[in-house]
Amino acid sequence: MEWSNYHTANALGLANPVARADRLQMAHTILALADSLSITRQHSTVLLTLACLYGNVAARKVMKFRADPCSFRAENALADIMVISRFIPLKLQVEQETRDRGIGFMRLCFLTDDSGLTEVLSCFKGQKVRSTEKDGSHETMLNVKVELATLLTEINMDKDTPSPADSTQETGQCEFDRLSAMLFEDAKDKP
């Protein structure tokens, strides 16, 4: 994601909390913005923006949204978010290589005094990394398990209490389920 797109995300007004009744609609807006910028809905930037929407203090520290657009520094947010996509593959590669060489079971951890980044990073668990060389370029595919319920700290998980903003919500489907479905919805299938 280009750093200039962070300014677009900052313009959504997430520097201040969004009313619970309006969160699911704002999530629709965030995902539509990601679609318009050709960013996958599961990208760490999108997930952290949703985490800000749902009250995750650590995500707010990482994203650093500001009410005054002139005081927003996208470079800081981008640097923190890039840790996710850069550290996890390195961690998996080093740990796998030590096992393959019979050295043992080496474990890597990311050390920083940035408590927000540490907490957010703990929600992203690397599962598998695969690298290939294609036509003179290097491609890395990373599978990550995201602890979404932990990341979205204030989301409505109560199946018996529908979100106040969504009167069409089906019985037995909580806001978390609705948002999860939205994350994996194919943008091409929408009008």
Mean pLDDT by 10 residues, the chain (191 residues): 65 89 94 92 93 95 88 85 84 79 76 86 85 83 86 78 51 81 73 46
Taking alpha carbons only, the member of 173, 188, 191, 187 closest to residue 24 is 173
Q: What is the pLDDT of residue 58?
A: 95
For residues 110, 38, 15, 80, the Cα torsion angle rounded to the nearest 10 degrees is: 20
Reported pTM: 0.80
Model pLDDT, residue 191: 46
Between CA 133 and CA 138 the distance in angstroms is 5
Cβ–Cβ under 8 Å, residues 25 and 176 = no
Beta strand 137-146 with 124-134 is: antiparallel
- The whole-number pLDDT of residue 186 equals 67
What single-letter amino acid sits at 87? F
Integer Cα distance of 74 and 64 in angstroms: 8
Cβ contacts of residue 13 below 8 Å, gap of 6+?
Answer: 67
Q: What is the 3-state secondary structure (H, E, C) of 155-180?
A: CCCCCCCCCCCCCCCCCCCCHHHHHH
